[in-house]
């Protein structure tokens, strides 16, 4: 079950061996998505709600070359403050291991490592997707990974900085189910929902678990379970789009592209919103972690 090249915390290894529920959590949002100390507080709160719901949290990263499932609290503290952390997506796992880098894993890389460990449920903030600009062309590896790795990704949809209709079309092309948790419309990260239908609505964690289990049993791979940002933190779409246009212009002027674009936009949005996007980001990550734990309990 647990690939020999992986390292796991004793708690995670024991839980998996006993068939107890485990929830994977990613590390790019700690190292690149949120600033200190919101990143540490969010990572700890996500782990705490997973435990409270009866599952074991497994924050995943590549620890100086060692793919690790279940970082210790000391490691999370170090990662939250470290400078020059490598942002590893699926293509970068080999480089991070071969060159012994300290790497935070994106959704795509975290899915790959979670699957190698035998973890089926994973919570994050929002998946990557197709960016809005034609130039520079940019589609996240998260979408490809969802099409080939059987892990359920619980998220607040795809990030509102993206072209959401295009992102959903790509997921549909590649056979990735997108479940809406108590919603028919696709959640849009900081913003409540985009007016695009999900592929199926579910009312409970148990329904989500049943859909995912059937999808995988019949030859499917990854799936998305999307819930909206908690009401008290959600950002009105009109306000958000003003900030987004400004942030995109700044990104163009600074000629930011590739893996740097998403962290750049998230940071500018936090500044332009006076910290409101950080409150939303933290709230949605914690809510997703709780729901992921409920689904993991159902699957176990």
Site residues (vs Mn ion, CB under 5 A) = 138
277 touches, from ligand PSU, Mn ion, none (C-beta below 5 to 8 Å by class):
none
119 touches, from ligand PSU, Mn ion, none (C-beta below 5 to 8 Å by class):
none
CA angle at 104 for the pair 102 and 107, rounded to the nearest 5°: 155
B/e letters for 169-191, b = 16+ CB within 10 Å, e = fewer, are ebbeeeebbbbbbebebbbbbbb
Q: What's the closest the beta carbon of residue 25 comes to Mn ion, in angstroms?
A: 21
199 backbone dihedrals φ, ψ, rounded to 5°: -85, -20
d(CA 3, CA 199): 33
d(CA 113, CA 102): 15
The residues facing 154 across adjacent strands are: 123, 225
Find the residue with minimal CB distance to ligand PSU: 125
In the annotation, is 267 catalytic?
no
126 touches, from Mn ion, ligand PSU, none (C-beta below 5 to 8 Å by class):
ligand PSU
Q: Is 194:164 a contact under the CB 8 Å cutoff? A: yes
142 touches, from Mn ion, ligand PSU, none (C-beta below 5 to 8 Å by class):
ligand PSU
Antiparallel, parallel or unpaired: β 56-63 and 66-69: antiparallel
**Shorter beta-carbon distance to Mn ion: residue 156 or 162:** 162
Q: What's the closest the beta carbon of residue 27 comes to ligand PSU, in angstroms?
A: 8
**Shorter beta-carbon distance to ligand PSU: residue 15 or 34:** 34
Q: Is 57 helix (H, G, I), strand (E, B) or coil?
A: strand
In the annotation, is 26 catalytic?
yes
Q: What's the closest the beta carbon of residue 263 comes to Mn ion, in angstroms?
A: 11
Q: Is 273:243 a contact under the CB 8 Å cutoff? A: yes
d(CA 93, CA 61): 10
Cβ within 8 Å of residue 181, ≥6 positions away = 202, 208, 225, 226, 227, 228, 291
**Shorter beta-carbon distance to ligand PSU: residue 33 or 180:** 33
d(CA 38, CA 57): 19
**Shorter beta-carbon distance to ligand PSU: residue 15 or 161:** 161
Residues that bind ligand PSU (CB under 6 A): 26, 28-29, 32-33, 89, 106-107, 124-126, 128, 140, 142, 259, 262, 266, 281, 285
Q: What's the closest the beta carbon of residue 136 comes to Mn ion, in angstroms?
A: 9
From the candidates 87, 145, 159, 294, which is the catalytic residue? 159
Q: What's the closest the beta carbon of residue 222 comes to Mn ion, in angstroms?
A: 18
From the candidates 26, 47, 248, 294, which is the catalytic residue? 26
Report in angstroms the alpha-carbon separations of 24 from 45, 172, 247, 274: 14, 24, 31, 30
d(CA 6, CA 25): 16
149 touches, from ligand PSU, Mn ion, none (C-beta below 5 to 8 Å by class):
none
Q: What's the closest the beta carbon of residue 134 comes to ligand PSU, in angstroms?
A: 16
**Shorter beta-carbon distance to ligand PSU: residue 15 or 117:** 117
User: What are the residue numbers of the active site?
Assistant: 26, 159
């Amino acid at each position: 079950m647990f690939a020999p090249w992986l390292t796991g915390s004793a708690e995670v290894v024991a839980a998996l061996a006993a068939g107890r529920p485990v929830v994977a959590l990613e590390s790019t949002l700690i190292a690149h998505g949120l600033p200190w100390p919101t990143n540490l507080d969010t990572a700890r709160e996500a782990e705490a709600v997973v435990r409270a719901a009866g599952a074991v949290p497994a924050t995943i990263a590549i620890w100086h070359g060692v793919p690790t499932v279940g970082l210790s609290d000391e490691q999370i503290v170090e990662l939250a403050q470290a400078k020059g952390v490598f942002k590893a997506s699926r293509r970068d796992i080999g480089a991070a291991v071969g060159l012994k880098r300290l790497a935070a894993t994106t959704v795509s890389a975290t899915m790959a490592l979670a699957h190698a460990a035998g973890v089926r449920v994973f919570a994050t903030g929002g998946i990557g997707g197709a960016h809005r600009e034609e130039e520079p062309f940019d589609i996240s590896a998260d979408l490809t990974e969802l099409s080939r790795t059987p892990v359920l990704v619980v998220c607040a949809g795809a990030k509102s900085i993206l072209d959401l209709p295009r992102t959903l079309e790509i997921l549909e092309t590649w056979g990735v189910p997108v479940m809406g948790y108590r919603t028919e419309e696709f959640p849009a990260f900081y913003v409540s929902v985009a007016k695009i239908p999900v592929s199926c609505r579910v009312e409970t964690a148990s329904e989500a678990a049943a859909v995912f289990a059937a999808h995988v049993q019949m030859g499917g791979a990854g799936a998305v379970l999307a819930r909206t940002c908690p009401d008290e933190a959600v950002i009105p779409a009109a306000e958000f789009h003003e900030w987004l246009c400004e942030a995109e212009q700044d990104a163009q002027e600074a000629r930011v592209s590739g893996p740097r674009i998403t962290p750049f936009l998230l940071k500018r949005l936090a500044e332009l919103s006076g910290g409101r996007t950080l409150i939303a980001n933290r709230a949605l990550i914690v809510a997703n972690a709780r729901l992921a734990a409920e689904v993991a309990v159902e699957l176990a």
